[in-house]
Structure 1
Amino acid sequence: MTSIIVDERDVTEQQFDKALKKAKYFLPLYIFVPAAFWVAFHFSGTEIEWRAYGLGALGWLIALFLRGPLSAIVMKLSKEKATTIVVSSSGVFEECVRIAILMLTSTTYSWSVSIGQGWAAVEVLFVILNVIIIASLSRRTDEKAMQAKEMLKMQGNLTASPLWGVIERIFASAFHIGCTLLAAKYPWLVVLLIPLHSFVNLTALKLAKKSIVQTELLIAAIGTIVLVAGISVLH
């Protein structure tokens, strides 16, 4: 039995090292995502309002910190239940903070687009930081590090191409920008955006364990629809 466990750990370690090497090459592409949106909106005639961009980034961070107390409360539950609760709460915290920022500042098109881009950009930065943190596990063989690697393996993150992560950021960014535009035009839509946001995150989390392709197709479809709808109603 011990030899089987050791063999499984060796396989996980090899998969982790291989995935890490590939991920490093794709990090610049993550930075390309917010830059691509900036270029697209620039050439469509919408300039970034940097104060709004910064507020969008700040809003995402506030929503992240607001989830902290909830994470502390549910930490005694099983990992699966705790993760489900925290991920499900993402829609509540993010959409409430988003609408609050819009209502307290401005709901013009360029301002709202800039908030959405800032919101999406800091999330991309967070993903990059996660990759760097995960990379720090590569030399560690302690129990917690091995558990983290095993969790990544179970989620399919050790075998999937890092390109999927970049694609996900593109459509997740589209979703955030679209949600911002929709909320700016129709603030009452927040009651629909909250469950939609939580649904996307929770479904993606569960679906990723089965099929990364289906996961990205879901995010791509919803992200595209929300962005197109947002641009249509506010522009």
Structure 2
Amino acid sequence: MTAFLKSKNILSDQSHQKIARKFIYAIPLYLAVPISFGLFFHYGFSSIHWEAFGLGALGWVLALLLRGPVTVFLKGMPKERAMLFVGLSSGPLEEGVRLILLFLTGASFSWALSVGQGWAAIEVLFAVINGLVLINIIQRNDEKAIQVKELLESQGQFHLSPLWGVVERIFASAFHLGVTLLIAKIPLLVLVLLFVHSLFNLAVVWISRKNMFFAQLLIASVGTVLLVFGLIAW
């Protein structure tokens, strides 16, 4: 019996190592997403304003940090309800920061395009870093690591290809670029887009628990539509 459990643990460790290798191999594809967008817009529309790019990245980080106080405020709530409100806060926080950033620094097409690229690029980098952290965790066997692995297993994350994440980053980047262009051109649209953003995030999370393909289809559809509308607006 002991030998059986031991072999089962070895198999589990080998499986986790395989997952880790797959993600590491996919990292260049993740990083290719912002590079590809940058090259496409550089040669097709406008060169990057690196200051705006950096400010866009900073804006995303600020919006992420602002979720901290929201999480603390909701600490006493049941977990599911707290997660719902955190998800609902994502739209107002991100679009609010995006609007203020564009208002304070500039709202021309080329500037907004660079802000959007920086916003999208830092999210890709965060996804890679988050993935590397998870890889480190799943290869450990301490109590906290086991809890994380059980959670990921219950969500079906171990059975997903990291290529799904690459696809998601492509169209999530399109989403951020489109929204940035729309807000820069028509600031009042932020009143609509903050709701769209929150509901979009919640819908993706809910659908991904049931069917990853349809979740990615939603991301692709919304991201593409917003990017097209953002470009048309100019």
**Residue-pair matches, total:** 230
Distance in 2 (CA, whole Å) between partners of 1:189 and 1:89 is 17
The residue identity in structure 1 corresponding to 2:162 is P
Q: Does 1:140 align with 2:140?
A: yes
Partner of 2:200: 200
Give deviations 1:154-203, integer Å, cap 9, x for gaps: 22221011101000000000000000000011100001100111111111
8 Å CA contact 1:155, 1:208 repeated in 2: no
Distance in 2 (CA, whole Å) between partners of 1:10 and 1:205 is 32
The residue identity in structure 2 corresponding to 1:28 is P
Matched residue SS, 1:83:
helix
8 Å CA contact 2:99, 2:187 repeated in 1: yes
8 Å CA contact 2:138, 2:148 repeated in 1: no
Distance in 2 (CA, whole Å) between partners of 1:125 and 1:228 is 24
Distance in 2 (CA, whole Å) between partners of 1:13 and 1:121 is 32
The residue identity in structure 2 corresponding to 1:218 is L
Distance in 1 (CA, whole Å) between partners of 2:181 and 2:119 is 12
1:12 Cα deviation (Å)?
6.6
Partner of 1:35: 35
1:22 Cα deviation (Å)?
1.1
Which one is further off, 129-138 or 146-155? 146-155
Distance in 1 (CA, whole Å) between partners of 2:23 and 2:165 is 9
Distance in 1 (CA, whole Å) between partners of 2:6 and 2:113 is 51
The residue identity in structure 1 corresponding to 2:56 is G
8 Å CA contact 1:156, 1:208 repeated in 2: no
Partner of 1:168: 168
Partner of 2:79: 79
> Between the two proteins, what is the percent identity of the paired residues?
46
8 Å CA contact 1:66, 1:93 repeated in 2: yes
1:1-235 equivalent positions in 2, closer than 5 A: 15-234=15-234
- Cα distance, 1:27–1:78 mapped onto 2, change above 3 Å: farther
Distance in 2 (CA, whole Å) between partners of 1:181 and 1:161 is 32
8 Å CA contact 1:71, 1:86 repeated in 2: yes
The residue identity in structure 2 corresponding to 1:204 is V
8 Å CA contact 1:12, 1:149 repeated in 2: no
1:9 Cα deviation (Å)?
8.1
1:6 Cα deviation (Å)?
10
8 Å CA contact 1:70, 1:86 repeated in 2: yes
1:213 Cα deviation (Å)?
0.3
Unaligned runs of 5+ in 2: none
8 Å CA contact 2:56, 2:114 repeated in 1: yes
Distance in 2 (CA, whole Å) between partners of 1:178 and 1:12 is 42
Distance in 2 (CA, whole Å) between partners of 1:200 and 1:6 is 44
Matched residue SS, 1:136:
helix
- TM-score of the superposition, structure 2-length normalised? 0.92
Distance in 1 (CA, whole Å) between partners of 2:64 and 2:190 is 18
The residue identity in structure 1 corresponding to 2:203 is T
8 Å CA contact 1:75, 1:82 repeated in 2: yes
1:38 Cα deviation (Å)?
0.4
Alignment RMSD (CA, Å): 2.1
Distance in 1 (CA, whole Å) between partners of 2:6 and 2:207 is 29
- Cα distance, 1:104–1:24 mapped onto 2, change above 3 Å: same
- TM-score of the superposition, structure 1-length normalised? 0.91
Distance in 2 (CA, whole Å) between partners of 1:6 and 1:94 is 47
